[in-house]
Structure 1
Amino acid sequence: MKPLRSSLLVLAVLCAAPALAMPLDTGERAKAFATCLGRYAAAAEHAVRTGGDAETSAARREMFADLLDAVTPGSGVAPSRLSSYRLGAKNAQARLFRMSYSTQDVVRARMAASVARREITMCDQLILG
């Protein structure tokens, strides 16, 4: 993403925060962005493996990376802590994707797919409203 376009996107999302049900506290925003960054990193990898829409997932991953970069300095949350949120969310999302595609238990696969979609939807609601 070009720097000016990226900055404008970040500014637009941050200014519209109350309408998007985004956390008002900067530290909570940073945590939410780090978590969504991890989820979308897993979604992008999963899409590549399964022939899904990797481009959209990668674009959203980059958007959350830009948002996280914008709020981290004033968040009061250590970058190592944010990295931990990101990695934890990525691992959890990847586990859900694996379970939804590789388990022989149809009920568990459906439940995992449903939870995976719900987690991504929560992230989408932060940026799409």
Structure 2
Amino acid sequence: MGGLKTFLLTLALLLPAQWMTASPALALAERPSDMTPVFAACLGRYSAQVEDSWNAYSSDDTSQITRARFEGLLDAVRTVSDLPGSRILQIRLEAKWAQARLLSIARFDRDPRMQRRAQAQARLALRPCEALLL
């Protein structure tokens, strides 16, 4: 039972993260000039990072600044986007949930290997967002 439980947890950990990482790219394939889904997903992921630092009673100024930058970028492109506000919010919340789940596993899982994997996956999920700001 332990092996199956570990497998299912690993599967649950990796699939949503891959799906959330891929969803903005899929949206961009439909309309390359619309960055709204990408900015919404990045804003959601950084919102989870900020909340995680609050829950850990630490100050992560870098994540707060980055989150504010993506909020400004999203506000700038939202008015010209064809996406309705409800879809933008959905993308943002799904990305936030996926990142929060990874951070929760990284912090609270009893298996150190799962903690390391989740932490690595959480960092990996932020890379496309970081690349946009370089």
TM tier, smaller:
0.7 to 0.9
Indicate if the aligned counterparts of 1:26 and 1:75 stay in contact, CA closer than 8 A: no
Equivalent position SS for 1:26: coil
* Code of the aligned partner of 1:41: S
CA distance in 1, matches of 2:70, 2:105: 25
Aligned residue for 2:78?
72
Offset, 1:54 = 1.9
Q: CA deviation at 1:122?
A: 1.6
Secondary structure of the residue aligned to 2:47 is helix
Q: Structure 2 length normalisation: TM-score?
A: 0.73
TM-score, structure 1 as length reference: 0.75
CA distance in 2, matches of 1:98, 1:125: 24
Distance in 2 separating the partners of 1:33 and 1:52: 25
Structure 2 gap ranges (5+): 1-27
Do 1:45 and 1:54's aligned partners in 2 also have CA atoms closer than 8 Å? no
Partners in 1 of 2:127 and 2:57 — Cα distance?
20
Offset at residue 26 of structure 1 (A): 3.3
- Residue 32 (structure 2) pairs with residue 25 (structure 1): yes
Which of 81, 93, 103 is the aligned partner of 1:97?
103
SS of the aligned residue for 1:104 comes to coil
Q: Which residue of 1 aligns with 2:118?
A: 112
Please state how far the C-alpha of 1:127 moved relative to its aligned partner: 0.9
**Identical-residue share of aligned pairs (%):** 36
After superposition, the CA RMSD in angstroms is 1.5
State how far apart, in whole Å, the 1-side matches of 2:79 and 2:67 are. Answer: 19
**8 Å CA contact 1:42, 1:93 repeated in 2:** yes
- Mapped partners of 1:26, 1:94: distance in 2: 29
Check if 1:84 corresponds to 2:90.
yes
Question: Are the counterparts in 2 of residues 26 and 71 from structure 1 also a CA contact under 8 Å?
Answer: no
Moved over 6 A (4+): none
Q: CA deviation at 1:48?
A: 2.0
